[in-house]
Amino acid sequence: MPKQVPAYGAPSAKAALIPFPIERRDPEPHDLEIGILYCGICHSDLHKVANDWGNTHFPVVPGHEIVGKVISRGSDATAFREGDLVGIGCIVDSCRVCRECRAGHEMFCEKGVTFSFDSFDTKRKSWTCGGYSAEIVVDERYVLRIPHGLDPARAAPLLCAGITTFSPLRQFGCKAGDRVAVVGLGGLGHMAVKFASSMGAEVTVLSTSPKKEGDALRLGAKHFVVTTEEGALNPLEGAIDLILDTVSGPHDLDRQATLLDSFGTMVLVGLPPAGANVDASALVHGNRRVAGSNIGGIRETQEMLDYSGRQAIVADIEQIRVDQLNEAYQRMLRDDVRYRFVVDLSTLHS
Ligand code: NAP
Ligand code: ZN
Ligand code: ZN
């Protein structure tokens, strides 16, 4: 019998989040039943609730930065034990056998990946519900191990903000001495600063918020530039090897591209609702490159978690109760978060 568990979600586009029960399936042989402790709030949750990308299926229960404890295991689930501290990110299923799955790029599964929320699970013929809920049932192949010593609430944002910034730094070979610019100091941006500086890069934060300077330097940046100040970007022209753009709203990519040194790369990870243009000449002169990067696969997510365990890297968070979710969404839209909200799911029961 599927189990009813309490959850928070949005009944329709731009509606306030409200409590309602959802169903979790009976654990299948390879499944883990997980009691959710904490879930981070990613700006993608906000885009989904606002239907910014035009593809949300309502009602939606967001949440894909999940940390919890194993409650029970299916008969063939052997990788974890009851009580283990585990993580679930954006991906909860894929075909496992296609070229992309075998390469560890499950997010590009040729048969279609199943995301942890607002994704149609073709095996179970139902829409997935995410981490703003008391429990979740996931095949253990998609469950991550949280290293000992990391605070569970502060580790939750690693499951999306962490892997989404770690992966492009790895893909583009970030190393000691590289000049890395992080655009936007939000949930993703602050993780990007921590990871890039831990790899020895000289990090510059490009921000629209002058008040974030002290935080940027504390997080590991060497330089801080307020992009909205007249002429502020001029000294940076041609002075950056890798730009990591984490911005959630419309902004000027053309100008940003001119900051790259020759053969430098601007990686887009932010997903603003409206498209942006890049002028060909900004790229052609200097052999500059523009790239995109989508989260990261399961294997790389575990590598990122293990790296974070060794380096003691976790998110800077503000912990909230479930009844503060709507306020947290409003604050994120006003850019008022330092630097990730994490919801404590034990407050679902109180
Ligand atoms: P967030 O915490 O809200 O941070 C976004 C930051 O972008 C803000 O703190 C702000 O930084 C800056 N910003 C916002 N609007 C801006 C505008 N119009 N112009 C210039 N700067 C602006 O969001 P997040 O959770 O980090 O997510 C960021 C984006 O990444 C979202 O679009 C999200 O959907 C996307 N995302 C993508 C992936 C992927 O796989 N590629 C994964 C997760 C999230 P400053 O105050 O410093 O300017
Ligand atoms: Zn996310
Ligand atoms: Zn596949």
Rounded Cα distance, 122 and 282, in Å: 43
Residue 198 has φ and ψ, to the nearest 5°, of: -65, -25
Looking at residue 37, what is its pLDDT?
Answer: 98
Taking Cα atoms as reference points, which of 86, 41, 55, 50 lies closest to residue 68? Answer: 86
Rounded Cα distance, 174 and 172, in Å: 6
CA distances from 132 to 116, 135, 196 (A): 11, 9, 30
Q: Are 184 and 249 in contact (CB under 8 A)?
A: no
The pair of structure tokens assigned to 17 is 């989040």
How many Å lie between the centroid of ligand 3 and the Cα of residue 145?
A: 22
Q: What is the pTM of this model?
A: 0.97
Q: CA dihedral in degrees (180, 66, 10, 123; nearest 10)?
A: 110
DSSP 172-215: TT--TT-EEEEE--SHHHHHHHHHHHHTT-EEEEEES-GGGHHH
How many Å lie between the centroid of ligand 2 and the Cα of residue 247?
A: 13
How many Å lie between the centroid of ligand 3 and the Cα of residue 202?
A: 37
Name the 3-class secondary structure at 73: strand
Q: Are 239 and 258 in contact (CB under 8 A)?
A: no
Tens of each residue's pLDDT in the chain, 350 residues: 899 999 999 999 999 999 999 999 999 999 999 999 999 999 999 999 999 999 999 999 999 999 999 999 999 999 999 999 999 999 999 999 999 999 999 999 999 999 999 999 999 999 999 999 999 999 999 999 999 999 999 999 999 999 999 999 999 999 999 999 999 999 999 999 999 999 999 999 999 999 999 999 999 999 999 999 999 999 999 999 999 999 999 899 999 999 999 999 999 999 988 777 889 999 999 999 999 999 999 999 999 999 999 999 999 999 999 999 999 999 999 999 999 999 999 999 86
Which residues are found with C-beta within 5 Å of the ion, ligand 2? 42, 44, 160
How many Å lie between the centroid of ligand 1 and the Cα of residue 75?
A: 41
pLDDT in tens, 76-113: 999 999 999 999 999 999 999 999 999 999 999 999 99
Residue nearest to atom 4 of ligand 1 (CA): 186
Rounded Cα distance, 153 and 15, in Å: 27
Q: Residue 304 CA to chain centroid, in angstroms? A: 12
How many Å lie between the centroid of ligand 2 and the Cα of residue 76?
A: 30
Pocket of ligand 1 (CB under 6 A): 42-44, 47, 160-161, 164, 184-189, 207-209, 212, 246-251, 269-272, 293-295, 332, 335, 337
pLDDT in tens, 265-319: 999 999 988 777 889 999 999 999 999 999 999 999 999 999 999 999 999 999 9
Nearest atom, ligand 1, residue 206 CA: 47
